[in-house]
Amino acid sequence: MTTPRLVDHVIVGSGFAGLCAAIKLQEDGETDFVVLEKGSDVGGTWRDNTYPGATCDVPSQLYSFSFAGYDWSNSYSPQPEIQAYVQQVAAESGTLDRFEFDAPLTDAAWDDAAQRWTVTTPRGVWSARFLIVGAGALEEPKLPDLEGLEGFHGEVFHSARWNHDVDLTGKRVAVIGTGASAIQIVPELQRVAGHLDVYQRTAPWVIPRNDRPYSRLERAALRRVPGLRRLYRTGLYWSHEAYVPAFTLQPKIAAPAKVLALKNIDKGIADPVLREKVRPTFEFGCKRVLRSNTYYPALAADNTELVTDPIAKVTGTAVVTEDGTEREIDVLVVATGFHTTDLPIAHHLRGRTGHTLAERWEQTGMAAYKGTTVPDFPNLFLLVGPNTGQGHTSMIFMIESQVAYVRDAIRTVRRRGLAAVEPRADATAAWNRSLQRRMRRTVWTTGGCQSWYLDEHGRNTTLWPRSTADFRRRLASFDMEAYS
């Protein structure tokens, strides 16, 4: 057996979450760590999602670390720029020497005798006191369960695994899905494809995206004027936070945004039949609200057909809908989302009882204490864990809140001379009871839609049902009284 390399901390993943943990641990003088990354570069979901048109739908100044500014070119950042940002922050942080790439975690088991985690990858085994998992919630593509998909003769790929070798110029292309990824892909494909079929199961709410390049003057001012970036960011933060009451308390408050979305349809589409097809039939905010100025015009273009008949099957050369229509295609793009409520990493984490986190969650549903720690899994910290997501602002704000909590937990363990901490079962149950009680009022539960926020039992295990400022306050310091 390979002798494990001893470190204080193993961090899993080098997207925004893992990188933030590495940088902040280093700041605390906790320099004995390794970052295990399954891919060959940093960036996580922003490394993987290279589809045409990939752009963040949260403004650049907000979708970035509070501690690392950047000379963003646009008010909303395109994927290559976000990837370059993550690479730059990683390089400048002085932590990259402890990153192991192409090292997917295959097993992590808590050794109760040694009070340590044994973490296995194809590149070696590590033994660590603390395990910090930032593997991401939008990591594992979810393919549609469609008859015949495997037998399709043309090119088929998921939005998060774009095949850039396929030239789409003049081709007959189909896109399945009309979520956040698809609405960015469709306008790009419509420009180059000979013909484009868009298969819509549920029409999303789409508000305009006021994207624009920053002027040279703005960029210079944001770089040089002390405090300006921070002020701008704070303004953006609170303007986004204003959505929270509409999503979590009273959907009627979103009426003005709904009007904007309906006007967006009328502006982009002239045909009344097509307008009706794209009009959402569920409450605003129940699924992620999307932002685009180009999606509706692309659907209205002569070379696009929006198909709303359910898909019956895929043949070697075509997609067949339930009404019997067969639409021949060369390329099939599945923009059908990710495994979000059955996180793949949970199958690889084995706690004090020997059971995996996935086995535990099969019984309890995906749940954690403060979205971060789990009973029977000592010294394990999940970043972007259960009920830490949101649909209205930057996930990086949540990540930074969680990392602050983890740092304080580690400081506490050291200060008190403890070997390990794990949340008490009663504290965890109380946290989740209160969370799920609150969830009943949210538009995600009452809004009449099915979304990736909900698990197979209709329970929302992904989103945070209060303001993100509230989340930050609750995780501001490590609450030892909830732990054993």
Give the interface with ligand NAP as residue ranges (CB under 6 A).
55-58, 138, 144, 146, 159, 176-182, 199, 201-202, 288, 311, 335-338, 450, 452
Closest CA to 19 of 394, 403, 343: 403
Q: Which residue number, 177 or 378, has a Cβ lying nearer to ligand NAP?
A: 177
Minimum distance of ligand NAP from residue 199's CB (angstroms): 6
For ligand NAP, give the closer residue by CB, 25 or 189: 189
Backbone angles phi and psi of 367, in degrees to 5: -155, 150
Would you say 60 or 118 has its CB closer to ligand NAP?
60
Q: In angstroms, rounded to a whole number, what is the distance separating the alpha carbons of residues 367 and 387?
A: 8
Binning the chain into helix, strand and coil, the percentages to the nearest 5 are 35, 20, 45
Shortest reach from residue 79's CB to ligand NAP, in Å: 9
Nearer to ligand NAP, 25 or 463 (CB): 463
> Which residue number, 351 or 391, has a Cβ lying nearer to ligand NAP?
391
Phi, psi of 280 (to 5 degrees): -65, 150
List Cβ neighbours of 359 (8 Å cut-off, separation of 6 or more): none
Strands 326-328 and 99-100: unpaired
Whole-angstrom distance, CA of residue 235 vs CA of residue 228: 11
Q: Which is nearer to ligand NAP, 380 or 454 (CB)?
A: 454
Whole-number minimum distance, CB 142 to ligand NAP, in Å?
7
Please tell me the distance from the alpha carbon of residue 196 to that of residue 178, in angstroms, as a whole number.
Answer: 13
> Shortest Cβ contact with ligand NAP: which residue?
179
Give the bridge partners for 130, in sequence order: 9
- Distance from CA of residue 10 to its chain's centroid? 22
For residue 107, the minimal CB distance to ligand NAP (Å) is 28
3-state SS, 41-57, equals CCCCHHHHCCCCCCECC
**Minimum separation from the CB atom of position 327 to ligand NAP (A):** 14
CB of 56 to ligand NAP, least distance (A): 4
Nearest-approach distance from CB 333 to ligand NAP, in angstroms: 11
Sheet bearing 155-158, strands edge to edge: 155-158, 331-334, 172-176, 195-199, 304-307
Between residues 205 and 369, which has the closer beta carbon with respect to ligand NAP? 205
